[in-house]
């Protein structure tokens, strides 16, 4: 007998950087991910005495089912490993605000899903080991982007699993 359940997870990047991933739910042998409702939010800040923002960048964010137990250094990223078997990939454009102070303070932010984005791609775990869903992201920077362009991320994923 087969049945469906929803596996809900949330997580954060833990530290500011310009790429990363958050592990979501595990998919055991024989289970199929039939649909995912996912979202992510990113923000960063910096000060610049020049008055100009820290530069321009695009952020690619993706949902992938792959080997369990990966970390930021080993998880696929949607720009560098764009040919991996992604369930969903989106491009986010940063938005910025300027705050008044002695220095020029910049806040940048972007996100995926409001409401949650729906990934309809199906993936079945044909291996004997558990696989894991990850929300992963990576930035592509323009020539004028300051080295200090880093940010934090949070993500959520509700996966519908068929046993």
Confidence bin at 52 (pLDDT 50/70/90): low
Highest mean pLDDT of the ranges 81-85, 101-105, 142-146: 81-85
For residue 142, the model assigns a pLDDT of: 80
Confidence bin at 141 (pLDDT 50/70/90): confident
CA proximity to 77, closest of 60, 96, 65, 90 = 60
Q: Where are the domains of the chain?
A: 4-162
pLDDT at 53 over 90: no
For residue 57, the model assigns a pLDDT of: 82
Who wins on pLDDT, 3 or 108? 108
For residue 50, the model assigns a pLDDT of: 65
Buried b or exposed e, range 19-31, using 16+ CB within 10 angstroms: bbbbbbbbbeeeb
What angle (nearest 5°) sits at the alpha carbon of residue 110, between those of residues 35 and 41? 50
For residue 86, the model assigns a pLDDT of: 97
Output the six-digit token pair for 89: 């990939």
Q: Name the burial class of residue 109, with classes exposed (0-12), middle (13-18) and buried (19+) by CB atoms within 10 angstroms of its CB.
A: middle
Who wins on pLDDT, 37 or 141? 37
Mean pLDDT score of the chain, rounded to an integer?
89
Measure the CA–CA gap between 104 and 46, rounded to whole angstroms: 8
């Amino acid at each position: 007998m087969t049945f469906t359940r929803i596996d809900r997870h949330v997580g954060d990047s833990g530290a500011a950087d310009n790429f990363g991933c958050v592990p979501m739910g595990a998919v055991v042998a024989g289970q199929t991910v039939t649909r995912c409702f996912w979202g992510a939010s990113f923000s960063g800040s910096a000060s610049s005495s020049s008055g100009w923002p820290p530069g321009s960048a695009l952020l690619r964010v993706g949902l992938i089912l792959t080997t369990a137990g990966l970390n930021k250094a080993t998880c696929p990223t949607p720009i560098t490993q764009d040919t991996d078997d992604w369930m969903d990939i989106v491009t986010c454009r940063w938005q910025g605000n300027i705050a008044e102070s002695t220095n020029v303070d910049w806040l940048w932010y972007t996100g995926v899903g409001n409401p949650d984005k729906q990934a309809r791609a199906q993936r079945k775990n044909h291996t004997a080991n558990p696989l894991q869903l990850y929300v992963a992201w990576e930035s592509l920077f323009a020539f004028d982007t300051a080295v200090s362009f880093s940010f934090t991320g949070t993500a959520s994923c509700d996966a519908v699993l068929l046993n």
